[in-house]
Structures are given as C-alpha cells and as structure tokens.
C-alpha cells in the first residue's frame, strides 16, 4: 500500500504531466521524490539548490495550484534539498518552503541557500549566463548538421557508421565514449551534431546537450567564482547524451579536467552516452591527465580523413542540390580537384564562385572557376606532372629520384619505376612514349607492361595494393 505522501505526489504529477512537454517533465519533475506529508505540508526532495531555484522560477504557479487542488486551500509545499557530490565534504539536507525568496530586480540573481548557515543570501546564479538557458531548451544543436547532409565516403565510413549506431542506441553500444578526431574542417562537428539530432528524433524523452569545450570551461570558471560547483556538476550529470566538442582545449586545465572526470564517470556508470571530438587521437593529446585519457579509450576512437576526389564531388553536388542551383559537372570536378585540404574550404570556394557569378552576372564556367580558384587559394591548383609523381613514389619508398631513371634492375627500384609509370599514365595526359622517356628512357611497350604488372599485383597482392592506395592519396592531396 502506498504512503499518503507518495499518493498525493503521484496525483500531482498526473496534473503536472498534462501541462508540460515530455522533456521538461522528465528533466525537472521525474527526479523529485516525495518525503512526507505532515500538517497538510508536502515535503519533496530535490537533488540540488539549482534544481530548487529552477522550480521556483519556472513552475511555482503550477506547483501551488496542483498542491492546493490535492490538499485544499491550506495545502503547502516544502523542499528538501539534498546536496551530494565531489565538492561537498558530507551530504546534507536543507529545508526550504516554496517561494521563500526575496524579490530582486536582477533576473541573473537568484536566492540560493547559504550552505553553512541555512540562510538565504544573494549571489549570482552561474546558470543564468549566455547560452545556458538556451541549452535546456534547444540542446545547442544545429539542425542543418544532420546525417542526411553528411556525405559518406571511405574517408569517414567508420566514424559515420559508429555515430549512427550510437544515435540509434545511445549508451547501449560498445562505442561509449565515441571519440571522433580529425584535422580542422573534415566534419567531426557535423557528425557530432548529427548524432545529437538523431537521438532527439528517435528518443524525444532523452536530454541531449552539445557543448564546446571552451564554453564548458567558462561555465565551470563562473561556477567556481560563485561557489556553485555542485550545481554545475549536477546540471551535467542530468544529461542523457553529452557531446563535448574540441576536448583538446582542456589541456593544462587541471581543475576543469577534474570536474569533467567526475561527470564522465557518473554518466558512463549510469549508461548515458558520451561523444567527444578532438583534433588528435587520444594517444596524441598532451596536457590531459592519464586517468582521463584512459577513459577516452574505453569506447571507440574513429578518425575522419581528408575526403577523396569522389567524396569531394559528392559534397559539392549535395550542396548545390540543397541550394537549388545548377552547375556544370566539369566545374564541380575542377573545384573538387583544386581544393583538397578540407570540406570547409571546399564549400567556401563553391560559395565564392556562386557569388562571383551572381554579382558579376556571369555564367558559371570552368574559366570563371579557374579565375576564382587562383584568388581563393594560393598554391592549391596545381597540375600533376610526371616529375611530381616520381618524387611522391620515391619519397614513399625512401629512394632517390635518380634511381628510377637509372638502368639498375634491383627489385625495389624496378617496382618504384613501374609504379611511377602506372600513375603517370593514370594522372597525366602524357603519351606512353613520353612517360617512358622520362622514366629511365624506356619505350612505350615497357610502359604498357609496367601498367599491366601493377594492375595484376593490385588484384593479387594485398600489401602491394596498400602501397598503391597510399601513394594515390599522396598524389591527390
């Protein structure tokens, strides 16, 4: 048989649930526990001072009406605030009647409890700061960064597949945490937002939060300044899917690393999902505590690589389709060939080309693209030459360029020479005779034989195929 206080609170929750959306109800009322009912006063336990302040600021009218509906005109509500966490020496309880706060003209000042004396005092509420109230409502996710807009290729297939698996079953896969790393502009922020958006769509009851590490650091600094570390800790421990972007900025910040360590542990132990991004793999991060780095390795670390030519073309086609713009294929191919560094620069070049066409009222042609590229990126648009290919091949195998032009029959030199011929035929417009002339003064038949040999080895020798793929990437990028 239920206790009377539990029954009263359950009846209150039925009314409250009908007046709120599911997310708000789950976040602010599901964690509340009814403690007792005495003298027509219902005491409820809330997890922190911040929790109490939020209820008082946003839901006090609803709470009062609900309590009086259940207990009559004399019914009252009292909070029992239990403060527990890494920054409290001992757990303790502070009782506070509803609406026992002084009026203030400053919306950024709340009336938290003086933990030492049990009295109310005015101190700044660290959670009413730029971005934080927005976090509660919007999760700080960019709606345009969805999986639908994320182009999959060999360069990102593992990370995308793992991200989608996490989004479909957050906290329940082996990919927890999911650590995504790459150089700037290759899509890790896009992918992390896509995971958050997919979770929100599939699990609307879950609390999802995307936060940049720099914002996390600033919020913690404010919490320390205002002696509200417990509230800060509890806020992040309520999240179901926490996405932390650019974790490398925690380097050297020991106190912030400590609080993130406790947040990580709590969420992981509760089966909540963590998604972390960085510009380096966990093993390459400097200035982070070993205990934190070890946790980054608990799940899956997946990298995003520079997209290949086909993926870059697909990204451009997706962008112009989204914008409803027609563009010749040869122009798209030229842009994709010319901009190889990252996706942001690639899209930036596309936007610049469209702007040039619109402002100058010129048709989008390959000539206009060449003019724009010359101004947009220095030393980017280059023609692949036989000399360039020879240098790439020789650098890869660690041999001097002159060696493949010599008459030596050493196996490693012959193989490098054949690869240089193969890639020269593939990536240049030079004739077989011209390629043979540059590569050791050979005839066109030798070049053809070299190409056939390379193709056969690609099909039969796994290690050789890896050589070819690696050299291909270096030639293109």
Mean pLDDT of all residues in 115-134: 38
Give ranges for CATH 1.10.1750.10 in the chain: 386-476
pLDDT attached to residue 379: 43
Task: Grade residue 196 by pLDDT with cuts at 50, 70 and 90.
Answer: very high
Mean per-residue pLDDT, 37-57 = 80
Burial class (CB in 10 A: 0-12, 13-18, 19+), 221: middle
DSSP 8-state secondary structure symbol assigned to residue 93: E
**Residue, of 449 and 308, whose pLDDT is higher:** 449
pLDDT at 80: 80
* Domain 4-124 superfamily per CATH: DnaA, N-terminal domain (3.30.300.180)
- What is the residue-averaged pLDDT of the chain? 80
Query: Where do you find CATH 1.10.8.60 in the chain?
Result: 309-376
Question: Which tokens go with 207?
Answer: 């609390």
Provide φ and ψ at 76, rounded to 5°: -135, 160
Q: N- to C-terminal Cα distance for the chain?
A: 71
Distance CA 205, CA 306 (A): 36
CA dihedral over 330, 332, 333, 335, signed as positive or negative: positive
Residues 441 and 431 sit within 8 Å (Cβ to Cβ): no
pLDDT for position 305: 85
CATH number of 309-376: 1.10.8.60
Q: What is the pLDDT of residue 477?
A: 54
Region 172-177 average pLDDT: 90
Q: Where in the chain is the domain with CATH 3.40.50.300?
A: 140-303
Fold of 140-303: Rossmann fold (3.40.50)
Q: Of residues 139 and 163, which shows the higher confidence score?
A: 163
Q: 208-239, pLDDT tens digit by residue?
A: 999 999 989 998 998 888 888 888 888 888 88
Task: Render pLDDT for 239-254 as a digit per residue (tens, 0 to 9).
Answer: 899 999 999 999 989 9
Helical pair 229-237 and 254-269, crossing angle rounded to 10 deg: 40
User: Are the C-beta atoms of 210 and 241 separated by less than 8 Å?
Assistant: no
Q: Which one has a higher pLDDT value, 308 or 122?
A: 308
Kindly tell me if the per-residue pLDDT of 372 is higher than 90: no
Asked whether residue 167 carries a pLDDT value surpassing 90, the answer given is yes
What is the per-residue burial (b if ≥16 Cβ within 10 Å, else e) of 90-106? Answer: eeeebebebeebeeeee
Instruction: Kindly report the number of other CB atoms within 10 A of residue 149's CB atom.
Output: 15
Q: Which residue has the tokens 């490098």?
A: 416
Provide the pLDDT confidence category of residue 383 given band limits of 50, 70 and 90.
low
Q: What is the pLDDT of residues 348-367, one digit of tens each?
A: 788 888 877 777 777 888 77
> For residue 275, what pLDDT band results from cuts at 50, 70 and 90?
very high
Residue 299 vs residue 368, higher pLDDT: 299
Q: Is the pLDDT of residue 283 over 60?
A: yes
pLDDT tens digits for range 436-469: 888 888 888 899 999 999 999 998 888 888 889 8
pLDDT for residue 88 = 36
pLDDT band for position 179 (cuts 50, 70, 90): very high
Half-sphere CA count of 215, side-chain side, radius 13 A: 17
Q: What's the CATH number for 386-476? A: 1.10.1750.10
**Portions of the chain given CATH number 3.30.300.180:** 4-124
Grade residue 95 by pLDDT with cuts at 50, 70 and 90.
very low
């Amino acid at each position: 048989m239920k206790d009377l206080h539990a029954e009263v609170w359950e009846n209150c929750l039925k009314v409250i649930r009908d007046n709120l959306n599911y997310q708000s109800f789950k976040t602010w009322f599901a964690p509340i526990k009814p403690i007792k009912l005495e003298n027509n006063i219902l005491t409820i336990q809330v997890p922190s001072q911040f929790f109490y302040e939020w209820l008082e600021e946003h839901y006090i009218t609803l709470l009062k009406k609900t309590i009086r509906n259940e207990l009559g005109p004399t019914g009252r509500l009292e909070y029992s605030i239990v403060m527990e966490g890494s920054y409290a020496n001992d757990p303790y309880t502070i009782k506070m009647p509803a609406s026992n706060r002084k009026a203030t003209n400053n919306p950024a000042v709340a009336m938290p409890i003086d933990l030492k004396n049990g009295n109310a005092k005015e101190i700044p509420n660290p959670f009413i700061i730029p971005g934080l109230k927005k976090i509660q409502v919007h999760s700080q996710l960019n709606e345009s960064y969805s999986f639908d807009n994320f182009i999959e290729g060999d360069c990102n297939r593992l990370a995308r597949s793992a991200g989608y698996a996490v989004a479909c079953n957050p906290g329940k896969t082996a990919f927890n945490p999911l650590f995504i790393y790459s150089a700037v502009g290759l899509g890790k922020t896009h992918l992390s937002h896509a995971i958050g958006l997919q979770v929100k769509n599939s699990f609307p009851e879950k609390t999802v939060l995307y936060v940049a590490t720099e914002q996390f650091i600033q919020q913690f600094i404010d919490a320390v300044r205002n002696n509200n570390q417990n509230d800060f800790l509890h806020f992040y421990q309520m999240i179901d899917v926490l996405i932390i972007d650019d974790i490398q900025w925690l380097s050297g910040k020991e106190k912030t690393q400590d609080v993130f360590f406790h947040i990580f542990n709590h969420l992981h132990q509760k089966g909540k999902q963590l998604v972390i991004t960085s510009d380096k793999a966990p093993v390459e991060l400097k200035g982070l505590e070993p205990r934190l780095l070890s946790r980054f390795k608990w799940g899956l670390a997946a990298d995003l690589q520079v997209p290949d030519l086909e993926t870059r073309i697909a990204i451009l086609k997706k962008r112009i389709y989204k914008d409803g713009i027609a563009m010749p294929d040869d122009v798209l191919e030229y842009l994709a060939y010319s901009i190889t560094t990252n996706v942001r620069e690639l899209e930036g070049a596309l936007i610049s080309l469209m702007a040039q066409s619109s402002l100058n009222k010129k048709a989008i042609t390959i000539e206009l693209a060449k003019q724009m590229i010359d101004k947009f990126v220095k030393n980017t648009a280059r023609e692949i030459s036989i000399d360039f290919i020879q240098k790439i091949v020789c650098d890869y195998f660690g041999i001097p360029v002159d060696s493949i032009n010599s008459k030596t029959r050493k196996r490693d030199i012959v193989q490098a020479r054949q690869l240089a011929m193969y890639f020269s035929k593939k990536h240049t417009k030079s004739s077989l005779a011209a390629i043979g002339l540059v590569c050791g003064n050979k005839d066109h038949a030798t070049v053809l034989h070299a190409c056939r040999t390379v193709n056969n080895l690609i099909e039969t020798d796994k290690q050789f195929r890896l050589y070819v793929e690696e050299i291909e990437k270096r030639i293109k990028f």
